[in-house]
Amino acid sequence: MAEDTPDYAELYRADEEGGRCALVAAAYERAAAEMHKAVVGQDGLIEALMLALLANGHVLLEGVPGTAKTLAVRAFSRICRMEFARVQFTPDLMPSDVIGTNVFDPRTAEFRLRKGPVFAGVLLADEVNRTPPKTQAALLEAMEERAVTIDGVRHQLPEPFLVCATQNPIEFEGTYPLPEAQVDRFMLKVIVDYPSPEEEHAILLRYQEGFRATDLDATGIEPVLDLHRLRELRACADSTTVTAEVRSYIAAISRTCRASRHALLGPSPRATISLMLAAKARAAISGTDYVTPDDVKAVAPTVLRHRFILRPESEMEGVSADYIVQSVLESVEVPR
């Protein structure tokens, strides 16, 4: 991400007039407007990308091919002035293709590091469940530690660092379910649905008028953030107040999910932390400096849906993780 700071007069006015969280809300509104120059609809996806960036998390995007997952991530990296790299995960992809390797330079008779795409600010792991678990695991250290180890030497990744992994629904032929340890590293999982009839018509109209997803320059997308401004937004989100009652509410949701009769495995303590951090970011982009139960409810499905292993009999009955989360939200007492 570039260190230079563009002229963000509107954001500075929001900072002066409404306080720091108004600044976050204004930045999010501008980011969403810029994103919509390339992406029609997909408001939930756009919000999830911003939440993950503010809360220093990662995003797993699940949907059939052709639903603008890759386009959205490319556009998002542009508005944030972050270096973008894409890896197409395939059955023959090796871990070194992701993190990099040391190569011998005959001119100097020394080994030098050839960095992999993981050293970008935004890494798009496209169709991550098309590659076997060995290569999927290459992302684990990078996602959790923001560093990779190559030939015993630890290398720090750039800050900020955001992994956006896309996957096809796991029942598709030629896919490998992600290991539970890796799935748990994703703060959010977004289900990317088909567009509505109105949105699909708008997509066709854009292409009729000359839009091409491969040419983002022609869309006129302008950067909204830089490194300095992002640090301010993250500090604001991090300082959002979470009362003891709301913290208890968050913990109760996780415990009740684990106790569900449909679940062999439920959300981990990491999931509980992610739920609080995502709720704080959501409150910040809403322009408030405190988390409400509604913020928690709004982010709970995307934070928790990928952290269950269902009982076989429940799967046969058609029970889903989303159903469990919704049932829990309806049963846990909401603090007043």
> What pLDDT is recorded for position 7?
47
Average pLDDT over residues 291-305: 95
Question: Given pLDDT bands bounded at 50, 70 and 90, which one contains residue 323?
Answer: very high
Q: Note the pLDDT tens digit of each residue in 151-167.
A: 888 888 888 899 999 88
Question: 111-125 pLDDT, tens per residue?
Answer: 788 888 888 889 998
Q: What percent of the chain shows pLDDT beyond 70? A: 92
The pLDDT of residue 170 is: 60
Q: What is the pLDDT of residue 264?
A: 86
Query: pLDDT averaged over the chain?
Result: 85
- The answer to whether the CB of 257 falls within 8 A of the CB of 263 is yes
Please tell me the predicted confidence (pLDDT) of residue 20: 64
> Mean pLDDT over residues 48-57, rounded?
93
Contact assessment for residue 281 and residue 51, using Cβ atoms and an 8 Å cutoff? yes
Closest by Cα among 273, 61, 82 to 160? 82
Q: Which domains does the chain have, with CATH numbers?
A: 1-239 (3.40.50.300), 240-336 (1.10.8.80)
* 306-320 pLDDT per residue, tens: 999 888 898 888 889
User: What is the average pLDDT across 198-215?
Assistant: 88
Interval 65-99: pLDDT, tens: 888 888 899 999 999 888 899 988 888 888 888 88
